[in-house]
């Protein structure tokens, strides 16, 4: 495993960490994920990268990451390739409600599609750091619709971490696409980590609006079928999900382990707290 930690402005080494707060983020579960990953594997692939907590912990060489969220993939590309331009743009942002809503609603206008990659990436980080509870949510039209968070002094620009993340991403292939395309990429001996939108434990807990495409039961079944296909190809996989009975039934033919986790991102306070999650493996 290659150590690629970046260097802070004071010369200290910086361990990269997610530059976005992301629903379902895995920072708290990283020790359990590390303990259960295969000891040997070829290439590391993560086709539902989200906040990337596990990726940034591992800092794998020549990795392959993807997501269906176009704004998120654009941000990863900009962090990797245009870090300094992104940092400069982030410094321009103001912190007040009027500015927030003006920037948030920019995706409703026809001009937004003409924005450059850096400006779009900067907008996403700003909204993530200043919106309510750091929640990323879009409506059916793909418009960001989370309200202002009213933080006193949010850290919008974290230069050292962005540079460390850029270094960790340096030789990583970053792709926009559905998890299903991984069947064409993964080869025997590779290791794939899946972190899909979770099956809700209750009807009121459903939160899958990371992109305008919804991740429903049919998609969960397609993901399970893909796991079966990868297993037949001798590709190693590990998958996180909720402990809903539907999930336990889907993956009953694989190794299923229950983990304790906390859910911090939810629009309602009662939706946060300790929950059971599952970790599924085929090795």
Per-residue pLDDT of 16-48, as tens digits, reads 999 999 877 778 899 999 999 999 999 999 999
Q: What is the pLDDT of residue 270?
A: 52
pTM: 0.89
Q: Is the pLDDT of residue 123 over 50?
A: yes
Confidence of residue 6 (pLDDT cuts 50, 70, 90): low
Query: Hey, where are the domains in the chain?
Result: 6-281
Mean pLDDT within 85-91: 99
Mean pLDDT within 101-120: 96
CATH code assigned to 6-281: 3.40.50.150
Q: What is the pLDDT of residue 2?
A: 38
Confidence of residue 140 (pLDDT cuts 50, 70, 90): confident
Mean pLDDT within 230-249: 98
Which of 102-116, 159-173, 204-218, 223-237 bottoms out in mean pLDDT, i.e. has the lowest? 204-218
Phi-psi region of 51 (alpha: psi -120 to 50; beta: other; left: phi over 0): alpha
DSSP string, 175-238: EES-GGGGGGT--TT-EEEE-PPPPPSSGGG---TTSSS---HHHHHHHHHHHHHHHHTT-EEE
């Amino acid at each position: 495993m290659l150590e690629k930690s970046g260097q802070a402005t004071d010369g200290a080494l910086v361990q990269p960490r997610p530059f976005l707060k992301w629903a379902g983020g895995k920072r708290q579960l990283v020790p359990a994920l590390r303990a259960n990953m295969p000891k040997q594997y070829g290439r590391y692939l993560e086709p539902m990268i989200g906040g990337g907590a596990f990726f940034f912990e591992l800092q794998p060489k020549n990795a392959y990451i993807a997501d269906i969220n176009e704004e998120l993939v654009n941000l990863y590309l900009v962090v990797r390739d245009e870090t300094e331009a992104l940092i400069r743009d982030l410094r321009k942002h103001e912190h007040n409600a009027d500015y927030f809503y003006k920037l948030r609603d920019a995706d409703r206008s026809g001009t937004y599609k003409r924005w450059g990659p850096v400006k779009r990436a900067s907008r996403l980080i700003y909204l993530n750091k200043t919106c309510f509870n750091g929640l990323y949510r879009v409506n059916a039209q793909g418009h960001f619709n989370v309200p202002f968070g009213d933080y006193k002094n949010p850290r919008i620009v974290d230069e050292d971490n962005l540079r460390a993340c850029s270094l960790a991403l340096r030789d990583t292939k970053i792709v926009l696409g559905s998890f299903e395309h991984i069947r064409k990429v993964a080869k025997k001996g590779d290791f794939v980590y899946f972190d899909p939108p979770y099956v809700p434990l209750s009807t009121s807990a459903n939160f899958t609006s990371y992109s305008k495409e919804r991740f429903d039961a049919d998609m969960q079944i397609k993901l399970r079928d893909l796991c079966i296909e990868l297993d037949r190809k001798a590709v190693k996989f590990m998958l996180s999900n909720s402990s809903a009975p539907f999930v336990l039934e889907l993956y009953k033919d694989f190794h299923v382990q229950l983990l304790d986790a906390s859910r911090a991102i939810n629009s309602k306070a009662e939706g946060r707290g300790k929950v059971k999650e599952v970790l599924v493996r085929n090795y």
